[in-house]
Amino acid sequence: MLYANNAKVTNWYLKYREDVYKYINSIVLESQLAEDLMQDTFVKAYLKASTFEGRSSVKTWLYSIAYNLTMDFFKKKKTNHKLQNSYIKNQNWHEILWDIKKWEDNRELIASINRLKESYRQVIILRKLQGYSVKETGEILNWSENKVKVTLSRAICYLRKQLI
């Protein structure tokens, strides 16, 4: 069984490591810390692989592990953190964020997202950057689907107000 878990998690690692790293790095803003937490995510996935039931995609499950490990880290450190500018500079924001406004330079949008409270940043990252469904976002954040919808709506509304 350990060999099967090893092969399975190795495949997951090869397929999803960059996505998991980018997701964590967008939260922690420190490449080495993101790398460490990404490795911890796959160690935990290895240890818990036998409990993965397939009710969600592997990527959703890994993001959930990554999210929980990252939040645990911040609970221990009680550190404020902001969305990493370099990750979101390459995103097509004017399409992603419900046509808030077309931006020639994303600095103002990046700064506005950085000022959002944590729950708003997380739901925007997962739904609008990562493209997760409402259900998958809820699974990752351990929220109900309704909470995801309401929080995203509030986050977009608040972001629009900041930008106008």
> Which pLDDT score is estimated for 154?
92
> Which pLDDT score is estimated for 73?
86
Give pLDDT tens digits along the chain (164 positions). 445 567 788 899 999 999 999 888 888 878 899 999 999 999 999 988 888 888 889 999 999 999 999 888 877 766 444 444 444 444 444 444 544 444 444 667 777 777 888 899 889 888 877 788 999 999 989 899 999 999 999 998 888 887 76
Q: What Å distances lie between residue 70 and 33, 62, 129, CA to CA?
A: 10, 12, 18
Distance, CA of 145 to CA of 136 (rounded, Å): 9
Among 96, 154, 163, 125, CA closest to 28: 125
> Which pLDDT score is estimated for 118?
85
> Which pLDDT score is estimated for 3?
53
Please, how many CA atoms are within 13 Å of residue 118, restricted to the half-sphere of its CB? 12
Distance, CA of 104 to CA of 59 (rounded, Å): 32
Q: Are 112 and 159 in contact (CB under 8 A)?
A: yes
> Which pLDDT score is estimated for 152?
92
> Which pLDDT score is estimated for 50?
85
> Which pLDDT score is estimated for 44?
92
> Which pLDDT score is estimated for 5?
63
pTM (predicted TM-score): 0.63
> Which pLDDT score is estimated for 78?
61
Domains of the chain: 1-81 (1.10.1740.10), 85-164 (1.10.10.10)
> Which pLDDT score is estimated for 4?
58
